[in-house]
């Protein structure tokens, strides 16, 4: 019997790795929480075929944080692709992942991996020295050329900053600038299954540019959902989570939230 091609992609984000023995903001044991996220993905009843890390891999961009991240990621027995975020340092990031041939040797860390049933097109939305995101005209030209190379194959566009306002005022100050230009490029292609991002430490969904944008929760903390214009920044030690994106030729892509931790069950009902 013919077995349908299926691809399961795990997504983790905003891990904020610290040097060994240090905590994220002195509160969250982000190193331990990444280890738990890796164990969670590898313990699923169907192990992902690929893992995407969508930015803020480390917290300060220091080489010792990247060394810690590589030590933790050595336990991940699944191919992974890593995209930088605003807490990453581009050159230190590039040096830490020098063995990953998909990363360019110079300039922004845009890349395309086309070895799976779903093509992965990643954008470096970071602005060195700043926390907001932006993609310059050269990056948008690269994206258009890359997407135009195959207008039929299912494609994911991956970047750290969501291309829309979240409604959380203290996050939207660090949003992606000029997202309408990115929308013009992506909206010209009808084979973009999802735009995947991180940054906001929350799951958010929005229909945008002819596709669906999905942000991934953090493995460390949850940024508080405070919507008043004068809201003060806040975070919670909420249950960490990741995303699972299941693609099949018959059904397209469905995205699931997967909470990380030990919970009561399983019970024999559904």
Residue-wise pLDDT for 209-238, tens only, equals 999 999 999 999 999 999 999 999 999 999
pLDDT of 101 > 60? The answer is: yes
Residue-wise pLDDT for 30-71, tens only, equals 999 999 999 999 999 999 999 999 999 999 999 999 999 999
pTM: 0.96
Instruction: State the Cα–Cα distance between residues 204 and 134, nearest whole angstrom.
Output: 20
Instruction: State the Cα–Cα distance between residues 105 and 17, nearest whole angstrom.
Output: 24
Kindly state the tokens that stand for 238: 């909420």
pLDDT of 73 > 90? The answer is: yes
What mean pLDDT comes out for the span 13-29? 97
Q: What is the pLDDT of residue 1?
A: 40
Q: What is the pLDDT of residue 246?
A: 98
Q: What is the pLDDT of residue 156?
A: 98
pLDDT of 149 > 80? The answer is: yes
Percent of the chain exceeding pLDDT 90 equals 98
Pick the residue with more confidence: 60 or 2? 60
pLDDT of 2 > 90? The answer is: no
Q: What is the pLDDT of residue 3?
A: 56
Q: Are 244 and 10 in contact (CB under 8 A)?
A: yes
Under 8 Å CB-to-CB from 33, ≥6 apart: which residues? 15, 219, 220, 240, 260
CA distance to 9, 30, 136, 264, per residue, from 26 (Å) = 31, 10, 35, 29
pLDDT of 86 > 50? The answer is: yes
Question: Mean pLDDT across the chain, nearest whole number?
Answer: 96
Q: Which CATH class is domain 8-259?
A: alpha beta
pLDDT of 12 > 80? The answer is: yes
Q: What is the pLDDT of residue 258?
A: 98
What mean pLDDT comes out for the span 158-181? 96
């Amino acid at each position: 019997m013919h077995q349908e091609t299926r691809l399961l992609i795990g997504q983790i984000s905003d891990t904020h790795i610290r040097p060994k023995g240090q905590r994220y903001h002195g509160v969250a044991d982000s190193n331990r929480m990444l280890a738990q996220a890796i164990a969670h993905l590898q313990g699923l009843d169907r192990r992902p075929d690929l893992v995407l890390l969508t930015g803020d891999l480390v917290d300060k961009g220091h080489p010792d944080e990247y060394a810690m991240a590589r030590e933790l990621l050595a336990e991940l027995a699944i191919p992974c692709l890593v995209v930088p975020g605003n807490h990453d340092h581009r050159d230190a990031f590039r040096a830490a992942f020098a063995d990953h041939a998909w990363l360019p040797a110079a300039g922004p860390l845009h890349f395309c991996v086309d070895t799976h049933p779903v093509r992965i097109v990643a954008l470096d939305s970071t602005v060195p020295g700043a926390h907001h995101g932006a993609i310059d005209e050269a990056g948008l030209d690269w994206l258009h050329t890359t997407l135009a190379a195959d207008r039929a194959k299912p494609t994911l566009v991956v970047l750290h900053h969501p291309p829309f306002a979240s409604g959380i005022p203290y996050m939207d100050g660090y949003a992606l600038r000029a997202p309408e230009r990115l929308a013009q490029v992506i909206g010209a292609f009808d084979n973009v299954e999802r735009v995947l991002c991180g940054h906001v430490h929350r799951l958010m969904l929005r229909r945008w540019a002819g596709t669906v944008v999905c942000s991934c929760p953090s493995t460390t903390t949850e940024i508080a959902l405070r919507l008043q214009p004068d809201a003060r920044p806040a975070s919670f030690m909420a249950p960490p989570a990741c995303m699972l994106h299941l693609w099949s030729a018959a059904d397209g892509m469905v995205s699931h939230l997967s909470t990380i931790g030990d919970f009561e069950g399983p019970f024999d009902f559904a």
